[in-house]
Amino acid sequence: WKDDNATDRPEMIKVDLLQNGTVIATQEVSKATDWKYEFKDLAAYDVNGVAYKYEVKEQPIAGYESKVRGYDITNTKVGETKVEGTKTWNDNNATDRPSTIKVDLL
């Protein structure tokens, strides 16, 4: 988790196991499991001897962005913020000021 130990962190997440792009199993993962999961007894090859490709994907969580690296999942808190400011003119109250200005956020 990358969320500064947010108090609104979900109690549980769901992790899907995909075999060749199709969900074949789902596990509920929580603090009680130390946020760990394990899918066991998976077939390595199909009936033709072709190796299966396995991957994991987390079901979406509101307020978080999920990134998978190998079989490790990192959840990063995302949200909105507010930026406010005031434009101060140092021009002796000139009459040729523009009616609007553009501010770039960097």
Residue-wise pLDDT for 33-83, tens only, equals 999 999 999 999 999 999 999 999 999 999 999 999 999 999 999 876 778
**64-74 residues labelled b (16+ CB within 10 A) or e (exposed):** beeeeeeeebe
Distance CA 29, CA 13 (A): 5
Output the pTM of the full model: 0.70
Task: Tell me the per-residue pLDDT of 14-29, one tens digit each, with 9 for 90 and over.
Answer: 999 999 999 999 999 9
* pLDDT confidence of residue 5: 82
Higher pLDDT, 53 or 97: 53
* pLDDT confidence of residue 82: 74
* pLDDT confidence of residue 19: 98
Distance CA 80, CA 4 (A): 16
Whether residue 105 has pLDDT greater than 90: no
Q: HSE on the CB side for 81, CA within 13 Å? A: 5
**Domains of the chain with CATH codes:** 12-77 (2.60.40.1140)
Estimate to the nearest angstrom the gap between the alpha carbon of 5 and the chain centroid. Answer: 15
Per the document, the length of the chain is 106
* pLDDT confidence of residue 3: 84
pLDDT classification of 30: cutoffs 50, 70, 90:
very high
What is the chain's mean pLDDT, rounded? 92
